[in-house]
Homo-oligomer: A and B are copies of this chain.
């Protein structure tokens, strides 16, 4: 099920020539409308997509997207399957195009539309003092919202949730029976930018945070929203205090993540994974189902289903214990 993103208004009036122009390329003769920028597997026929590595060639062969951003060497391999648009820096180009489609996905630090909730509109919901709600916030019945909590425009929260005090929620879709504890910050832009000696260039984050039913998010957690895709926390996963989850991370169902764990961007964690305190998971990894990661571990490569690992870098826990007797 694809969840619609209500947070970033898309510019629906983008033509291929607009894109070519910001990429510094020559215009086409024909007027071709482009609907959106998407990854290869989810792109529709009128979307523009991109390929950053040939390991995605098989996915490209099946993509519906006609136009695909690529660099020169990759272009030669993909031109049989799509119309490549050749650029020097694929990532930079993607973000320039994202900015074109979603101009407000960058500047979202404060929601000045957030005001004291209209109690008439929110029946069966219990609000603490000094709560601020943005425009068009949807909250299910029997949910409680603690003191000083800010919920920004277009956020959706399900029924029977408990949102603690001093919580900030933005760009997030939250299921039923979810608990978000005091001081958590959910849905801000990820830590992504192009370094530049004078002034780094932040890239737009048009993704969301999606939190499924029965999840618990601990105190003072920080969960960043995705850039092009979403940050997702699966059903019935419980997360302890002071955990940091970077953009695009996907965590499965029934996971147990203890205090001060950190996830770098874009890693995918399976179901029923248990992670001990202060462990760190590097970016772009795939952690299988039923994996157990010992406290303090530093995980720097993929881990297959049912493994138990520990150490820095993390290895099979039997080896770790043997070497450290």
Contacts and interface: CB of A to CB of B under 8 A. Distances in A.
Chain A interface, >50% SS class: loop
A280 B280 contact: no
B220 A164 contact: no
Contacts of A147: 110, 114, 132, 150
A56 B126 CA distance: 45
Q: Quickly give the copy total for this chain.
A: 3
Contact of A222 (B150, B188, B242): B242
Which has the most chain B C-beta neighbours within 10 Å: A110, A181, A196?
A110
Interface in A205-236: 214, 216, 218-220, 222, 224, 236
A24 B80 CA distance: 68
A204 to B, nearest CB: 15
Nearest to A152: B165
A199 interface: yes
B191 A236 contact: no
Nearest to A167: B166
Interface residues of A, number: 71
Q: Which 10 A-B pairs have the closest CB atoms?
A: A296-B298, A110-B146, A222-B241, A191-B240, A278-B280, A244-B259, A109-B162, A260-B262, A185-B219, A219-B222
26 contacts: A109-B162, A109-B181, A110-B144, A110-B146, A110-B147, A110-B165, A112-B126, A114-B147, A130-B148, A150-B165, A166-B166, A168-B182, A168-B183, A185-B219, A191-B238, A191-B240, A193-B238, A197-B236, A199-B236, A200-B238, A218-B222, A220-B220, A220-B242, A222-B259, A276-B282, A295-B298
